[in-house]
Amino acid sequence: MENKIQLYQVELELTSDDDQQLRSLTDRIREETSGSTGWQKLGKLLLKIGQFNKAEELYNVLLEQTSDEGEKAHYYSQLSHVVIHQTDVVV
């Protein structure tokens, strides 16, 4: 990814294990970002929240790091979604 340094401040709050609202949100995110690796889940989440440039950066890095043709096919497919959203192409 680019060498831009970005800093995020996050305020964390403890919750109980039986927080139903948090559990529902977590389950929903897991359903919508299913993938075999954490990086694939992150890519899907970035697409879902409209962070297309970040998703594009991630998928390009993942493409450079893999030699597996199946993974490459997946990343190219995801990059096509990025291009569609960036150019407002109707499919």
Per-residue pLDDT reduced to its tens digit, 5-58: 777 788 888 888 788 998 898 888 888 877 778 898 899 889 988 999 999 999
Locate tokens 């998703």: which residue?
55
Residue 46 located in a structural domain: yes
Is 51 within the bounds of a domain? yes
- What would you measure as the largest C-alpha separation in the chain, in angstroms? 44
DSSP per-residue letters across 65-79: H---HHHHHHHHHHH
What is the distance, to the nearest Å, from the Cα of residue 65 to the centroid of all Cα atoms in its chain?
17
Let me know if residue 50 belongs to a domain. yes
- Residue 82 counted as domain residue: yes
